[in-house]
Structure 1
Amino acid sequence: MLGRVITGIGVGIDTSTVPMYQSELCKPHVRGRLVTTEVLFTGLGVTIAYFFVFGMTYAGGALAWRLPISMQIPPCFIIAILVKGLPESPRWLVQKGRIQEAVQILAHVFNAEESDETVQSEKNAMIDAVALERSNPFRWTNVFRPDSVRTGYRIFLACLVLFMNQASFDSIQWAGINVIVFYAPTVLETNVGLPHSTALITSGFLNLAFTVGSLIPAFKLDTWGRKKPMMGGAFGAAISMMIVAIMLSFQGTPHEKTLANVSIAFFVTFMLCFGASLNAIPWCYSAEILPLHVRAQGTSIAVMVNWICVFIIVMTTPTMVASIAWKTYLVFMVMNFIFVPIIYIVFPETAGLTLEQIDYIFVKRGDSEVVETVGSSPALSQTAEKETVNGGKYPGTDEAPESKHIEK
């Protein structure tokens, strides 16, 4: 039990740190692809581990569980050694006043000279963003009080998107994904009526479908943006859950077995839709939506909310499946349908923007600090000008900028 607790702490640190680090150390046009690769490889690891453990069930004795547990140890040591060679986040270095180190890392990431215009522009944008955010230093009370960069609202968005991840970002759990990931064999035996061995094998292929779906954002997220894939994935997941519920509602009729087998296909489509959208994108979005001065704290809060959702789902799912059977999937259908308009209305689009430019989606219109900061940074001045395109609206919002936001 102590080992499980320590492992859980380690996983919590990893899931709250890695997306944040990835988002801070890559170019805007590839940020989505790079951040979602962590989720892709997580899915791949789950699939490999599942089939490995399934194979070990035939070994018998203590070896059947000791070997799978011990196989987790070597990768931990390898990762701990390799992490020592990773560069520090340039944004964190700027925040700490270590500007030259940040420039060196930016030059390395961009494969350019330190004097390169892109490197210098990024550096200036980071310095200006830090200055803007320091005009409202973080205090925990800021979560409940508006400031110039809307810190509390952005932490709320990060929590909401990971809540949907437990639907898939926060929303992943409430979308129904962990019902299938954790309890697929039970669901397939209890609701679909498969034999135990067949249910185990089928569960493995459901995990494989989840991994295949996760390939899509790893290649296309920066082309498609964030909002449209999340809305499409939530809608597809909702339709899949609806059809599963319909197919399983015929229990006790002559068509029960045939329709229950058909439902397996829609478990697969659910895993594909979820893997391609609400599984990966919320982890990227929650890290990039937060301002620098609270990125660590905000990400931690959002990930904590995510894991609380996981805990709730794990504790309630067996009772739901046993008590209301196929109606369980109607709950997740409704949740996914609800997420579609929420994503459209609440979340701004962040694809292709630097983390500093994302700050300027949220700044209070008319804030004098904003005018001063935009005027001092070529990168952010250009961003402000670009944000007047498409009818004079800020990306991802319906709000037009005031003229002083685009003056140099």
Structure 2
Amino acid sequence: MALKSAGRLQLIFLAIVNSVSMAHFGYDQVPHHSPASLPVANSKHPQGIFSGALISADFIKLFPETSDPNISGITSSCFSLGAFFGCIAAFLLGDRLGRRRTVWAGLFTNVIGAVLQIAAYHLPQMIVGRLINGFGMGLTSSTCPVFMAETSPSHIRGKLVVLGSLCNTTGFCLASWINYALFNDNGPLQWRFPLAFQLVFPLIVTLFLPFTIESPRWLLLRGRNYDAQRALCQLRGKGQNLEDKDLNDDMKSIQQAIQDERADLSTLRETLLFRDPNRNFRRLLLSCGTMVMQQFSGVNALSYYLPTLLIQSVGVSSENARLLTGANATVYLGAAFLCLLLVDLVGRRKLMMYGSVAMGSCYLIAAVTLKEASLHPEQKTTLGSVTVAMFFLYYFFYGTSFAKVAWVYNAEVNSLGWRTRGAAAATATNWLGGFTTVQFTKVGVNNLGWGFYLLFSCFCYSYLPVVYLLYPETSRRTLEDMTEIFKGNSRLLVFNNHILTQRKRPQVFIDAERRRIDGRTSGTGNV
């Protein structure tokens, strides 16, 4: 029992590292708009920590250049630019450094960037700090879900990865309530304290990361078989029993999967033309696709406009609009907890398809009520209340589907040799997608009105056939099963293949795992 507890303790440490890192990601997540570009009614309603800083009277006094909307926009969005380059660095260097050292590098740059921002009295220092902080966030946000996925047992892998994404929502929710708590403070505390508070997250990770083990799969990828065996032994709670049969079966299965990948190694040209046996580029596109669907479901666009809608269409006061926005973030957090229970129980495909229909319906009803409100001004308040209710429901449906499943899917679907690169590419897509949708939100709302939300309804509905036709189920599969999914099935369409879409682990994958184990009868090094 003590040995099993030791394995659980390792998973707890790893879950804390992943979850707190992702909470930091959520805390720093801000829409990339400047206060001067916001509608007047929204100018007191920032949706993230740095958006709150940008409208602080003390901040504007200290950095008067940010009164220019272009300068303000650059100051805010340079964080995403840094995060994008951090993802690129993880793409290029992640497999060389390993999971732990990449996280360490991210923490180090996070702290430097945060300190530069906290101590800033000149705008260039603030911008450099945000770039560096974003770079560190790109490293950690693209690595931590992979680290968690590679060290988790297959039957709870989805829950543990979703736990990290759930903490991302917790960080966002915390940022909303800190902004609300500091609403009436006009001094430097209003913006320096929230920026300083982000140091809590790397501090917690620093306390637990030294007690975690490196990913056994990465160690095997680098040829460190004995270290991988010891790491896997710790994860399985086997103590020092390196001769345990189940442990060695797992080792053989992973090693054989790596050998098979290397035997099928293709040139970059063949990979990009979908000619490699492991279908690495197709898998990368599927993982990036989940992030495209997540961001173009309009969540950032909605967070931009919700407070304005509360004030202009429903008639609530400025402070109450801020309060309701915080309450909405809390509802979103509750939905994320529900997703934690559903992700392995229901499976990835069904959650994404349900989310597509539910989110699309919310936007459709909201578009109709906004149109009717423009035609019947005397019913504006009632119709506005219905619209807001739809947006609150949207957050619930989004929180139980694409908000979390996208992170799980992109951490699972790529091959071991491409897993870090695939996750980095998907995370970079997340940052760019969020930036793009928010940049066009104000123009879209001004020019299209209710039609802007109808556009997002169409986007959401379109995800249903995309997921149904193209996305295989990854729930209850080992990470080595992913190669069996793609290597044995060259056809893009998966909907008519029960083996690829069922939630239960197919027998054919169990048989393939047995063949991998039996195929490693010699030449196993330290196994």
TM-score, shorter chain, exceeding 0.5 = yes
SS in 1 for 2:260: helix
| Correspondence for 2:348 | 226
Which TM-score applies when normalising by structure 2? 0.67
2:228 to 102, 125, 128: 102
From 430, 433, 444, the equivalent of 1:309 is 433
Which of 307, 323, 334 lines up with 1:185 in the alignment? 307
- 2:364 counterpart residue number: 242
**Is there any run of 5+ residues in structure 1 with no aligned partner, and where?**
167-173, 367-390
Residue of structure 2 in register with 1:214 after alignment: 336
- In the TM superposition, residue 42 of structure 1 has moved relative to its aligned partner by 1.0
Structure-1 separation of matches of 2:283 and 2:489: 16
Cα deviation, 1:84-142, whole Å, max 9, x if unaligned, reads 22210110011111112212222222223433332222111110111011123365432
Instruction: Tell me, in whole angstroms, the C-alpha distance in 2 between the residues paired with 1:21 and 1:138.
Output: 25
After alignment, is 305-314 or 320-329 more displaced? 320-329
| Structure 2 unaligned regions, length at least 5 | 1-126, 491-495, 516-527
1:323 corresponds to 2:447: yes
Cα offset, 1:237, TM superposition: 0.8
Alignment RMSD: 2.4
Instruction: Give the direction of change, closer, same or farther, for the CA distance of 1:185–1:121 in structure 2 (3 Å limit).
Output: same
Partners of 1:43 and 1:210 within 8 A in 2:
yes
Aligned residues: 374
Counterparts of 2:343 and 2:156 in 1: how far apart (Å)?
Answer: 9
Question: Which among 204, 216, 230 is matched to residue 78 of structure 1?
Answer: 204
Structure 1 residues 327-382: Cα deviation after superposition (integer angstroms, max 9, x where no partner):
2211111111000111111000011110001110111469xxxxxxxxxxxxxxxx
Distance in 2 (CA, whole Å) between partners of 1:40 and 1:92 is 25
**TM-superposed deviation, 1:280:** 0.3
Secondary structure at the counterpart of residue 440 of structure 2: helix
Give the whole-Å Cα distance in 2 for the aligned partners of 1:300 and 1:130.
Answer: 20
Partner of 1:175: 297
Which of 256, 259, 281 is 1:131 aligned to? 259
Q: Is the 8 A contact 2:266 2:276 kept in 1?
A: no
1:207 corresponds to which letter in structure 2?
A
The amino acid of 1:311's aligned partner reads F
Alignment of 1:150 onto 2:279: yes
Corresponding position of 1:62: 188
Match of 2:172 in 1: 46
Cα distance in 2 for partners of 1:275, 1:52 equals 21
Q: Is the 8 A contact 1:240 1:267 kept in 2?
A: yes
Give the Cα–Cα distance (whole angstroms) in 2 for the partners of residues 322 and 337 of structure 1. 24
Is 1:335 the counterpart of 2:335? The answer is: no
Q: Which residue of the partner structure matches residue 388 of structure 1?
A: none
The answer on 1:122 being equivalent to 2:250 is yes
- 2:290 pairs, out of 135, 152, 161, with 161
Distance 1:27 1:48, change over 3 A: same
Does 2:353 align with 1:353? no
Call closer, same or farther: CA 1:150–1:72 in 2, change over 3 Å.
same
1:33 matches 2:159: yes
User: What is the Cα deviation at residue 75 of structure 1?
Assistant: 2.3
Counterpart of 2:401?
277
| Equivalent of 1:268 in 370, 392, 411 | 392
With over 3 angstroms needed to count, the CA separation of the structure-2 counterparts of 1:392 and 1:335, relative to structure 1, is closer
| Identity value in percent | 27
Q: How much has 1:193 moved relative to structure 2?
A: 4.8
Question: d(CA) in 2 for partners of 1:158 and 1:187?
Answer: 34
Supply the AA of the counterpart residue of 1:216: L
Seen in structure 2, the aligned counterparts of structure 1 residues 407 and 309 have a Cα distance that, compared at 3 Å, is closer
Shift, 1:208, TM fit: 1.1
Moved more, 338-347 or 257-266: 257-266
Task: Say which is worse superposed, 356-365 or 149-158, in terms of deviation.
Answer: 356-365
- Tell me the SS of whatever aligns to 2:243: coil
Matches within 5 A, 1:16-27: 16-27=142-153
Contact residue 180 and residue 187 of structure 1 kept, 8 A: no
Distance 2:144 2:349 in 1: 22
